[in-house]
Amino acid sequence: DQQVKQNSPSLSVQEGRISILNCDYTNSMFDYFLWYKKYPAEGPTFLISISSIKDKNEDGRFTVFLNKSAKHLSLHIVPSQPGDSAVYFCAASENSGGSNYKLTFGKGTLLTVNP
Amino acid sequence: KAGVTQTPRYLIKTRGQQVTLSCSPISGHRSVSWYQQTPGQGLQFLFEYFSETQRNKGNFPGRFSGRQFSNSRSEMNVSTLELGDSALYLCASSLGQTPLNEQYFGPGTRLTVT
């Protein structure tokens, strides 16, 4: 059973526009969420995270929104740049900040930003 | 500072064989986690080692095992390989007592089982 779901396998946007990547989760014990970006032949790179005590976290062009009641989070990239083209993974964990390093990942969304 | 390194980068094995993959964490990092990435299942957590002890474990069969050495380098072993074990195996390192976002992934080992 997939506890973290990214229902869009791919997304294509124009340079300069907003990219919105979505993620849903089913495990109510998840309390820490992360987004990773992955280029081919490289490991995932951390982008941004959010704790369940917040509903928004911003870092430059990247903003993550968390809706706990809907068990939904989204990553907004504004403005989108061609270099943002990559696979984006949503991940979740229980007991954030503790010794639980077990991440549950979604299957990823391939973002393509067209010049 | 050097990143996480994984060896080998590519590997081809036959069904029934066993394989050992290696991960060298960033200097000073004491936690190493392993993940399996397949097209059908995405990234799945295998296990995490901290100071030579397995601290967390995912839902994989006992054919998958790992260990960590005193220098924090880690190995994972898969015995009696099956076709479904073909995947990209990623390891990630961290100091081990920091937030999850301070976890750095290696480039992975691509294992093909024929």
B24–A contact, CB cutoff 8 A: no
A42-54 residue pLDDT tens: 899 999 999 899 9
Q: Residue B46 is encoded by which pair of tokens?
A: 């295998």
A54-111 residue pLDDT tens: 999 999 999 999 999 999 999 999 999 999 999 999 999 886 555 667 889 999 999 9
Report CA-CA distances (Å) from A62 to A12, A57, A80, A115. Answer: 17, 8, 10, 19
| Rg of chain A taking only CA atoms, in angstroms | 14
Average pLDDT over residues B69-84: 96
pLDDT number for residue B2: 75
pLDDT number for residue B98: 67
pLDDT number for residue B95: 84
Q: Between residues A115 and B97, which one has the greater pLDDT?
A: A115
| Partner residue facing A108 (CB), from B42, B104, B106 | B42
A8–B contact, CB cutoff 8 A: no
- Identify whether A79 is preceded by a cis peptide bond (ω within 30 of 0): yes
B47-64 residue pLDDT tens: 999 999 998 899 999 999
**Sequence-ordered strand ranges (E) for A52-114:** 56-59, 62-67, 72-77, 86-93, 104-105, 109-114
Report CA-CA distances (Å) from B89 to B19, B65, B112. Answer: 12, 13, 11
A18-29 residue pLDDT tens: 999 999 999 999
B58–A contact, CB cutoff 8 A: yes
Average pLDDT over residues B20-42: 92
pLDDT number for residue B102: 76
**Sequence-ordered strand ranges (E) for A1-115:** 4-5, 10-14, 19-25, 32-38, 45-51, 56-59, 62-67, 72-77, 86-93, 104-105, 109-114
**8 A C-beta contact, residue B10 and residue B57:** no
> Nearest CA of chain A to the CA of B66: how many Å?
15
pLDDT number for residue A99: 61
Q: How many CB atoms lie within 10 A of CB A82?
A: 10
C-alpha distance across the termini of chain B, in Å? 37
A45–B contact, CB cutoff 8 A: yes
Nearest to residue A78, comparing CAs of A54, A66, A60? A60
> Nearest CA of chain A to the CA of B8: how many Å?
13
How does residue B99 score in pLDDT terms, banded at 50, 70 and 90? Answer: low
B100:A44 CB<8 A: no
The DSSP call for residue A9 is: S
> Nearest CA of chain A to the CA of B32: how many Å?
9
Contacts of B74 in chain A (CB under 8 A): none
B107:A42 CB<8 A: yes
Q: How many CB atoms lie within 10 A of CB B41?
A: 13
B92–A contact, CB cutoff 8 A: yes
